[in-house]
A and B are shown apart, each in its own frame.
Chain A
Amino acid sequence: QKEVEQDPGPLSVPEGAIVSLNCTYSNSAFQYFMWYRQYSRKGPELLMYTYSSGNKEDGRFTAQVDKSSKYISLFIRDSQPSDSATYLCAMCEDNDMRFGAGTRLTVKP
């Protein structure tokens, strides 16, 4: 079993849809949680990070962490074609960071 599991997709949605991206993990020692967005041929760009269970909102993006279930989610509201990218979840314990494989998202106009 991988430490971090993420459905690779691909996921295709129409413009304006709400997108839900998810990861599960096995290591209960992970202390903080991140979502990165990666465009083709580019490096990952940090979108959201959080230290605790609960929700964190930033514009159209909401990150949700449920430590009891070892489950994290990223919600994108009013999705745009410019949101088309690969989304990577990541989590960290004492500077040891682990990444999901990434979910490829396409938002169609």
Chain B
Amino acid sequence: DGGITQSPKYLFRKEGQNVTLSCEQNLNHDAMYWYRQDPGQGLRLIYYSHIVNDFQKGDIAEGYSVSREKKESFPLTVTSAQKNPTAFYLCASSISDQPQHFGDGTRLSIL
């Protein structure tokens, strides 16, 4: 089945630690996105990539980093510079000008 796989489902971060969230898609989509979802707020865009080896900052990129070395993969690193990392993180992919399709998210909490 085609889809977007995010792992792990739950993740805990210690103070000063970087953590990496995985996102893999087998839909052959060119574009991939990372969003953060907080209660009572809409999804906020962290980073996006429309092509391999290229990515752009979204609205709230500070404290996050990404890479896009393969079309299928778009990992997100939450660095220690992100002071409020507790949230539900969603990865999405799309064909240009088409609606985005989402994975089932990773819930990140601070220990």
Contact = CB atoms under 8 A, between A and B. Distances in A.
Given A42-B104, A43-B90, A43-B104, A34 B99 contact: yes
A26 B54 CA distance: 30
Interface stretch (A12-20, A64-72, A74-82, A94-102): A94-102
Nearest to B94: A95
Interface string B83-99: 00000001010001101
Contacts, number: 46
Given A95-B50, A95-B97, A97-B100, A41 B42 contact: no
A44 to B, nearest CB: 5
B16 interface: no
Interface of B: 4, 6, 31, 40-43, 45, 50, 90, 92, 96-97, 99-105, 107
B42 A4 contact: yes
Nearest to B6: A43
